A and B are shown apart, each in its own frame.
Chain A
């Protein structure tokens, strides 16, 4: 699993990446009440807005950590946003992206680097 400074995580299998928000982000957001996901087939650019997560505190944009095409979204989380709080780095995933440029992965942090980054916040 790899991480961005904006608290997204990425798990790559073959040329498809599963993307979600980290446990730290879920904790900071508080209870999530609404999740807006992109349409399957949408083209994403790394760093662009990909989804919206609304908690009882505020609405936050989720950025695409990698460029590519959306091959699937987690429909279950739209119906049951609690999943994002319960298992942010598991069944609370948001989007699957077919990678356009696997080299972009190199810019992301591994878990120990991300955890060190969190300690610096």
Chain B
């Protein structure tokens, strides 16, 4: 079998005295929080309707009249508000503290972005309004497109993909369309062993077989293995740079050259573009298509705080296949090309119902304009500086699998330093919650055993980085000193204790059902 054994144990190994019942007690001003369906009763309502004298003409319902009332919980407005505010208090957010999830780029969401997105001229638009009444919004899309093209050096951009993986799909569908157009059916996409899981998933969804490229001992794409696997059957390679180990692919130009020599396309996974923005143009690295996560590099909210947006920049060869709609300059101002003829004759079609995440376009453009070209360059520099600061402060105690040389925007540690302590990466991460910090990304990338991937982003101050490092060093000392119970029983101070993920996977409860009475 293909023995995938790099993950984590998911059952608590804690055997000490029982902790407080999970989440069912009020504590620290946080109350017990049942589901809204358990809180409200179906035979009650928080709103009064005056239905006296109202009659319903049931003939319009064609026999579809409801036999029983809908099972909606009856709550008053304050009960409803409090329920959701209490839930929000149990969630972690970038507005509460550092959120060091590697490869997720949880940077601060500037309030200026929010202010711009709330301007009535943007916030109150409807996607079906006459084009003449939305010229300002189209200008935002056009200017955002200009910034993205300039920062990447690419000639075209598709704005509408709504997430990084959606952007990957857009890019691979454009590559597939280009290959079909040149009568060159190809079957395979290559991804490095450290790739984001979305890369092989996207390739499979686009109809390709996936082959893995090996990694060198220093965490980069193995050029020899790449050259051996390239051939007339390979449609594309998907490479993240910097890669998920937080390392710059120093052979990126040779990777692009080999790929193009084999007639394949180079898809750049732009999830880590925040490490390069303003410093490196992906076009100069030989990229043919790359998505850009506005919700990472350009500071729009995500991770429960807002929707993603993953515009895709395209080379001149791929541009004719870009999805609709896109903005063009017409005789009467800006226009949206939505039909699949004329300049969109070869389009791969639509990727979403309307024009993409308009609110995110406004926020991302506000971020770009408030930083300017020099500010964006400093974004990348500070992101890399902060990650290296963390790497330097923690390396004395925690082991880094690729210790040599600087990292880029994220610092990667492994589990080697915990050997013999009885504490695992999972235990360490859970104990971080008790110490007041959200855990880092763990057990990813898969090529590193017990990976701990820390991405501080440029928006954290040195004081905050020090607080974080101090907490981790204190935890590390406790782990080394043999205080295993503290780790196995963590988290003790969170609303919920450690969950049994095995049972959750074996017997998932996918739907709420009323308790038997």
Contact = CB atoms under 8 A, between A and B. Distances in A.
Contacts, number: 59
B1 A7 contact: yes
Interface stretch (B243-251, B332-340, B499-507): B499-507
A54 B505 CA distance: 10
Contacts of B2: 6, 60-61, 63
Contacts of A69: none
Nearest to B10: A56
A38 interface: no
Given A33-B505, A34-B505, A55 B7 contact: yes
Contacts of A82: 506
A8 B3 CA distance: 10
B383 to A, nearest CB: 30
Contacts of B501: 56
B87 interface: no
Contact of A29 (B5, B505, B506): B5
B493 interface: no
Contacts of A7: 1, 3
B451 to A, nearest CB: 13
Contacts of A29: 3-5
B477 interface: no
B92 interface: no
Contacts of A10: none
A28 B505 contact: no
A36 interface: no
A31 B502 contact: yes
B4 A31 contact: no
B72 interface: no
B202 to A, nearest CB: 17
B345 interface: no
A62 interface: yes
B499 to A, nearest CB: 12
Interface in B256-294: none
Given A31-B506, A33-B502, A62-B1, 19 more contacts: A6-B2, A8-B1, A30-B7, A33-B506, A34-B505, A53-B1, A56-B8, A56-B9, A56-B10, A56-B501, A56-B505, A57-B4, A57-B7, A58-B5, A59-B4, A60-B3, A61-B2, A63-B2, A82-B506
6 contacts: A31-B10, A31-B11, A33-B505, A57-B7, A58-B5, A82-B506
Interface of B: 1-11, 501-502, 505-506
